[in-house]
Structure 1
C-alpha cells in the first residue's frame, strides 16, 4: 500500500488579506523613508565633497550632551547610537509581530525565509573572509556586508518604477526582519568589549520595569518615554551597544490581537513610531555617516584594498548567491513549489536587491574599524559602491519582468465590486459571485437602456425624412 505524501507547500504564494494589508502599509512607509534616505545620502556626499566639507566635519564631530552622565557625544555618535535605537525599536516590534502573527509564526513556513536570510548573511561573510585571507587584509570587517537595507531597496524600486507583487515584497520584508535579528546578535556578541556590570544591571532592571508596566496595562507616553531614555542611557554606559535597548523594548510589546481589538498595542505603536524611524532617524544617521570623500583614486582603491573589495564582493556576489542558494536548496529539500505566476529568475532578482546593505552595514563598519578613521571612511565608500552595483544589477533583472509584475499587481488590486476587498480574495465566496452577477446585470441593463434611447432617437430623426 502506497503511503500518502503531504502536498507540497507553496512558496511565494498569495498572502492572506490581513497580512497583505499589513505588508502594504509597512512597505509604503518604508518606501517614503527610503527616498528620504537616498536624498540624505546624496546630500551627505555633496556636503563632504564640496568646499563646504570642513563644515561637514565640524558639525558631525560637534559634541553635546551631559558629560556627568557619560553622554557627551558627537552629533555623528548621537545619530548612530541614539537615533538608530528608534530604528531597532521598530525592528524589534517587526520581529515580535512576525513571530506571533506573521510568516515566522509557522515553523514550516518560516523555514524558507529564515534559511535564505541566514545563508544571505553567511555567504557574504565567507566571501569577505576569503578575499581578505587571500589578500592579506583584516578580518575585522567580516560582518559589514551581511546586512540588507529594506528602506534603500524599496527606494530603488520606487525610483525605477518597478511594481513587485505582494508575495515578493513580503519575502523581501521577512528577509530584512530576520536579517535585522542576526545583525542585532552580531552587534551584541562581537562588538561589545568592556562591560560595566552596574550600568548593565541598571538597564536590565529598567527593562524589567518596562515589561511589568506593559503587563499591568499602564498607558501613557509620559511613563514609557522617560523610562526608555533611562534604559537607553544605562545600556550605552554599560558598553553594550545602545541600540540593543531599542530592540529589547520592541520585543516586549504585545503584537497579537485580543478579541475586539482592531490593532494590537505593538502594531499601534509601530504605526506611530515607524514614520519617525524611516522619515527622521535613519535619514539623519545617513546624513552624518555617508559623507565620505569620493574621487577617482578613492573609488579605484575600493577595488584594490582587500577590506573594501571584500565588502563590495560580499554585497554584490555573496548576498545574491546566499539568498538565492538558501532559498533554492530549502525549496528543493522541503518540496516547496514556487508560485506558478513567478519564476526562479524573480527570486534571483530579489536576492540581488538584498545586496543593498546600507544603514546597518555603515553602523557595523564604524564599529569594526573604530579608531581607524581613514579605513572606516574607505569601508563606507565600499558599502556605497557595493550597494549601487547591487541596485543596478537588480534594476536590470527586475525590468526584464516588469510587464509581468505589473499584470500581477493589477490582478491583486482589482476591486470590481468596490467593497474595499480585492476580488482575488473573494473568488471562492458565493456571495461575491452573487454581487458580481448583480453588477454585470445592472451594467447590461444600462447598456440596453442606452441602446433603446439611441434607437428611439434615430427613429424619430428618420421619420420626417
Structure 2
C-alpha cells in the first residue's frame, strides 16, 4: 500500500517529535512497564513449566484452585479468581490513571492529536474481532470469544523489546503506549457490557455510593492511605458482589484522581499515586495473575488443537493478522483522510512493525478468555494456549521487522538523547534557542583552543626529537 502523498504546508505531522515533558513521562512509564514485562515473561514461563512437568503438574492445579476468603462476604474465592478479580483491579487502577492523564494532560487532550491513536486502536480491536467472527462462522465455532484477540499487552510487548535488545524512537514508543491505553479503555467497556449477566442492584448501589464518597474525599483534599485503601477495598468487594466485574472499580477510582498540576506542584496527585502503585501492578499483580492463569497444557495434541479448532484458530489469527492489519490500516486511513504526513525520520514499515508488536495480547486476553468460556474449563485452557501461541508468533514477526530497522532506530534514539552542552535537556529540544547555540559555540571554541595547544605541544616535541636525531647523526663514530 502506498503512503499518503505529501500535502501542503498546513498538513499535520504523523508520529512527530514529542514535547519534552511528554517524552520524559513516556520514558519513565515505559521503563517501569519494561521491568514489569520481564517479570511477566518469567512468570508466564514458570506457569507453563509448572503445568507441563508431570511430576508437579497436579500441584499447580491444586494451588490455583485453593480457596481463601470470607464466605460470609461472598469472597470465598480460589487463588486464580483472586488474581483475576483482585490483583488485576490494581492493574486497571493504573490503567485508569494513565487514561485520565492522557485525557487531561497528554496526547488525547487534543482531539486532532487523539484521532490517530483512537482510530488505530478502534481498528486494532474491530479487525481482530472480525477475523475471529469470520473464522468461527465458517467453522461453526462459538462466537463467545470474539473479544479475546482485541487486547494489547504493553508490558509483554516492552519485555520483548528488552529481550531482543532494540529500542524504539520516542514517537513510536508513545504511539504504542497510547494505543495500549485506549485499548485498555475499550477492553474495560467490553468487560463491563458483555460479561455482566446478573446484577445485584443493592451491592452495585453500595459500590456507587462508595465511589461518590471516594470522589468527594479527593475533591476535599483529604489525604492518607489509611482512608483510601480501606474504602477502595469496600468498593471493590461491593462491585464484585454486584455481578459487574470487580476490575471496573479499579478503573473508576483511577479516573477520579486529579492528573493536572496545581500551582507549585511538581507532580499531580494522580501522577504521584501512579508512581507509587505502578511497581506493585507491574512487579507483583500482573506477574502473579500470569503465574496463576497462564499454566495450560502444551502437548502436541493441545497445540494441534489450537490450529484446528475454530475458536482457538480465530484467536491466533485475530492476534497475528487482525491486530497488524487493523492498527496499520487504521493509521494509514487516519493519515490519508486527515492529510497528515508521516514523520520524515520514519517509514510505513515502522508503523507496520509496531502494529505487529501490538498483536501480543496477554494479560487482558487471558482475562477475557476466562470470562468468555467460564463454563467450559477445557475450552478455556485451549483459548489460553491460543493466546500464548498467537502472542508468540506476533512477537517473533515483530522482532524480525524491528531488527531490520534497528540501526536506524539506534541513530534516532541517540539523536533524541544527545546532550552535548550537559544542561540536562536533550539538544534536539533546544535547536531553536539562541542561548543553546551560544553555549555550543563556547564549547567548540574551548575544544578548538585545547586542540591548538595539543598541536603546538606535539609540534614542539616533534622538533625536539628531530633536533636530537640530527645531533646524534653528526657525532663522530
TM-score range, shorter chain: over 0.9
- 2:4 — aligned with what? none
Distance in 2 (alpha carbons) for counterparts of 1:96 and 1:400? 36
Matched, 1:321 2:322: no
Distance in 1 (alpha carbons) for counterparts of 2:293 and 2:402? 29
Matched, 1:403 2:407: yes
Matched, 1:283 2:311: no
Matched, 1:183 2:172: no
How big is the shift at 1:6? 7.3
How big is the shift at 1:399? 1.0
- 1:234 — aligned with what? 238
Note the 1:160-171 alignment, pairs <5 A.
160-171=164-175
- 2:44 — aligned with what? 41
2:34 to 31, 41, 47: 31
Matched, 1:307 2:322: no
How big is the shift at 1:453? 2.5
2:146 to 107, 130, 142: 142
TM-score between both structures, scaled by the size of structure 1: 0.98
Matched, 1:246 2:281: no
Kindly provide the CA deviation profile for residues 306-341 of structure 1, in whole angstroms up to 9, marking residues without a partner as x: 000000010001101100111101110110100001
Distance in 2 (alpha carbons) for counterparts of 1:336 and 1:368? 39
Q: 1:421 to 1:294 in 2, by over 3 A?
A: same
Distance in 1 (alpha carbons) for counterparts of 2:196 and 2:30? 32
2:367 to 363, 366, 369: 363
2:100 to 92, 96, 109: 96
User: 3-state SS of the aligned residue for 2:414?
Assistant: helix
Distance in 1 (alpha carbons) for counterparts of 2:187 and 2:462? 74
Note the 1:194-273 alignment, pairs <5 A.
194-273=198-277
- 1:124 — aligned with what? 128
Matched, 1:61 2:79: no
2:426 to 422, 426, 431: 422
- 2:353 — aligned with what? 349
Distance in 2 (alpha carbons) for counterparts of 1:67 and 1:172? 42
Matched, 1:70 2:62: no
Distance in 1 (alpha carbons) for counterparts of 2:390 and 2:89? 25
Structure 1 residue runs of 5 or longer lacking an equivalent are none
Note the 1:377-388 alignment, pairs <5 A.
377-388=381-392
How big is the shift at 1:457? 3.5
User: 3-state SS of the aligned residue for 2:16?
Assistant: coil
1:442 to 423, 433, 446: 446
How big is the shift at 1:451? 2.0
How big is the shift at 1:452? 2.2
How big is the shift at 1:460? 4.0
Q: How many residues align?
A: 462
Superposition RMSD in Å: 1.1
Distance in 1 (alpha carbons) for counterparts of 2:337 and 2:448? 52
Structure with higher Rg: it is 2
- 2:15 — aligned with what? 12
Kindly provide the CA deviation profile for residues 373-409 of structure 1, in whole angstroms up to 9, marking residues without a partner as x: 0000000000001000000111111111111111111
How big is the shift at 1:263? 0.6
- 2:475 — aligned with what? none
Distance in 1 (alpha carbons) for counterparts of 2:60 and 2:229? 31
How big is the shift at 1:5? 7.2
- 1:457 — aligned with what? 461
TM-score between both structures, scaled by the size of structure 2: 0.96
Distance in 2 (alpha carbons) for counterparts of 1:440 and 1:221? 52
Distance in 1 (alpha carbons) for counterparts of 2:176 and 2:462? 59
Kindly provide the CA deviation profile for residues 271-328 of structure 1, in whole angstroms up to 9, marking residues without a partner as x: 1111110111000000000000111111011010000000001000110110011110
2:298 to 283, 291, 294: 294
How big is the shift at 1:454? 2.7
Distance in 2 (alpha carbons) for counterparts of 1:418 and 1:237? 56
Structure 2 residue runs of 5 or longer lacking an equivalent are 1-6, 472-477
User: 3-state SS of the aligned residue for 2:214?
Assistant: helix
